[in-house]
Structure 1
């Protein structure tokens, strides 16, 4: 029979060796986390520009890695309350970039179009006709929040869609942590807009809720992924004791978040409905091995992401 002290020492040594052993991170996980950098760059630069009037080249130039400066970003005409929230979002995104790059490396910041002209084109697609005057995301609080509505939810669904490909504990923990903050940002944006759901958007005839519904419908069309997106007001849904047409946090019938695969995400970011046809926020395309699967027929360490696969 083993001596209790000897058994204790053996168990302690075993635990020590397991803790000291470096965890293996697969190349597929590296490629997926680096793909997420495209979204993090987009959010970082948009929030920094809107709140401060400048971006990574001033705040954290090392994280830009010498990449192209964004097109058309500018300081928005924000009130104190909304500006304070957007500043917090901006520095959260800076932290996301730093954390991902420290864990899996990265690439130079991709070229991004944050111009009023680009947002006006997106709104035209959403509404089915040009707005007069063209939509300006930097005009006021409501316009900037509507423009912000476009972005974090795409990251949220992309991170949820990433989870099935992950094996290592450290990568799972990081993605879960990123997803938690992304979900919070999306909820804050939707909550702020929900307070003004029936408010007309000057000088247009549509109200805030109608435009969020149109933007969500556009993301569904572009991604070709049925109904993974809905705006702030929908057909009444019931719970025990009451019902509501409010949709402040969008999820399925069991309040579970939706997911999107990388190709669906790219179709939205490019604004073209095609993962191999750049445009929209990324005029010459996103960066990283996952993007190159669709842009250059490149191979990937994630076989389920091949061009011939629906993922």
Structure 2
């Protein structure tokens, strides 16, 4: 197993990064749409994993998304009541306030998604409590991890990328998260036993898919109207890296990067079914881990997730 920060310290190029993944990620990259039910903590289907454990896994991811969008929209993170008792801290790039939007439309878009993610946090916390469980508190979150991710993806040569600097950079940051959310909820469907909870998870998946579609549309619309493919090309690099880390041969973001075979819908081309990721594959992405079992922290979660599902299984 290699971590992204280790690769960066070795100053490898993106090409050598992808080549260096080698057999460690070959199995992950083969089948993006299989409905694997690996828990990420037990190396396969684990009867000890409950619906509350799955919801707590999702809650960790919603904390991450909520923090990102709230800081982008308001310059502040979750209120203490939403973060939970003893919540971890969130590290952000120095000097951050809200993104300088430049247009009310962009600002409204960011604010609406921020509120959606806060509502997801609140819903999951209430659902876990109502199901007799204890919702985990927000773990430590590091939103500066976008910078080394950008280096690993070949977007920048030094870790300077900051998704809070411009609306376009914000879209790239959002693109990192939203497709992961959609694939994670799809992958979790096979783990949930309660039809009520499964229905709610499907509803959250739908909202995350709306978010992802809006981000993809804004990126491709900008490329079409300005003939500037810069941010579509950047998003495609994000998709490539996300696929390498998270076991998905996913489609790119748009039709403007010189490849007519890619599309704006992230689904398999045979049945048009959204890609699915196991919890293990999701952990590899958010930890920035290229392969290997037992990775329990890193990337956006410097001290790991809270709950039972915290370590990679393969």
State the match for 2:294 in structure 1.
276
Q: Give CA deviations for 1:238-257 in whole Å, capped at 9, x if unaligned.
A: xxxxxxx5x22211112110
Contact map agreement 1:215 1:231 (CA 8 A) in 2: no
Indicate yes or no: 2:130 matched with 1:130: no
Larger Rg: 1
TM-score (norm 2): 0.74
Q: Give CA deviations for 1:263-288 in whole Å, capped at 9, x if unaligned.
A: 10000001122463322111111111
Q: Give CA deviations for 1:188-238 in whole Å, capped at 9, x if unaligned.
A: 11111111236688xxxx711211111000011112x2403523236324x
Distance change (3 Å), C-alpha of 1:214 and 1:141: same
- Where 1:268 maps in the other structure, the secondary structure is helix
Match for residue 71 of structure 1 among 74, 83, 91: 91
State how far apart, in whole Å, the 2-side matches of 1:236 and 1:200 are: 16
5+ residue gaps, structure 2: 1-47, 129-133
Q: How many residues align?
A: 251
State the match for 2:108 in structure 1.
84
TM-score (norm 1): 0.75
Alignment of 1:1-311 (within 5 A): 28-57=50-79, 61-65=80-84, 66-72=86-92, 74=96, 75-79=98-102, 80-104=104-128, 105-115=134-144, 118-127=145-154, 130-131=157-158, 134-197=160-223, 207-223=230-246, 225-233=247-255, 235-237=259-261, 247-253=263-269, 254-274=271-291, 276-277=294-295, 278-291=297-310, 294=311, 307=313
State how far apart, in whole Å, the 1-side matches of 2:50 and 2:287 are: 23
Mean CA deviation greater in 177-186 or 225-234: 225-234
CA RMSD of aligned residues (A): 2.2
Q: Give CA deviations for 1:107-132 in whole Å, capped at 9, x if unaligned.
A: 111000113xx21211110017615x
5+ residue gaps, structure 1: 1-25, 238-244, 296-306
